[in-house]
């Protein structure tokens, strides 16, 4: 009787096994993001369950400079280019992440991102990302350091010798607007 029950449930078990493997891949992808790495395992797993997959063709716009930020992105497959004021400033590859500045600083996107190859990104919505990162001091500190490093790259007039400020611990979904240089 037991073998018949297993056979009857086999399709459902295979689907469940496939979802668990995908979830493991999503957890591993998020654990490779420096600002997410310090988060507790349970938080990473919760974030992984909220990831959305977006597939874009080469040349597609992922996000545009000046737009409101609503998602955090991690590249799963493919490559992209960061563009500021119409000029390419850096390249992104699998494992690269972007979008954190607009979310954490609650300001418009500081650059555009375009797919240079077919691109698969995983996205987290603003609320899930900001709550997780800013609600855990080690992650908030790393996020702030990443943001300062990116902003210094975008704005060479920012004095690179200035120390990175301590990360604010934010308990709201978004801090007050206006924390990004134009």
Strand partners, 125: 71
Kindly list the structural domains of the chain, giving each domain's residue range(s) and its CATH number in brackets, ordered by start. Answer: 2-154 (2.60.120.10)
How far apart CA 92 and CA 116 sit, in angstroms, is 9
Position 23 confidence tier, pLDDT thresholds 50, 70, 90 = confident
Closest to 142 in 3D by CA, of 117, 168, 116, 162: 168
Q: What is the pLDDT of residues 124-136, one digit of tens each?
A: 999 999 999 999 9
Pseudo-torsion of CA 56, 59, 64, 70, nearest 10°? 10
Residue 160 has pLDDT above 50, yes or no: no
Q: What is the pLDDT of residues 68-80, one digit of tens each?
A: 999 999 999 999 9
């Amino acid at each position: 009787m037991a073998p018949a029950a297993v056979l009857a449930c086999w399709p459902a078990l295979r689907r469940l096994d496939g979802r668990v493997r995908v979830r493991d891949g999503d957890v591993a992808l998020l654990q490779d993001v420096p600002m997410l790495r310090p988060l507790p395992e349970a938080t990473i797993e919760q974030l992984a369950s909220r990831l959305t997959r977006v597939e874009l063709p080469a040349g597609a716009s992922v996000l545009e400079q000046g737009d409101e930020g609503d998602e955090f992105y991690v590249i799963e497959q493919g490559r992209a280019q960061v563009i500021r004021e119409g000029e390419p400033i850096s390249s992104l590859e699998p494992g690269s992440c972007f979008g954190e500045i607009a979310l954490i600083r609650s300001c418009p996107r500081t650059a555009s991102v375009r797919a240079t190859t077919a691109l698969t990104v995983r996205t987290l919505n603003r609320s899930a990302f900001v709550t997780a990162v800013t609600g855990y001091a080690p992650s908030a500190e790393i996020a702030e350091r990443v943001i300062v490093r990116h902003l210094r790259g975008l704005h060479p007039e920012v004095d690179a010798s200035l120390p990175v400020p301590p990360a604010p611990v934010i308990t709201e979904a978004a801090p007050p607007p206006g924390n990004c240089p134009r």
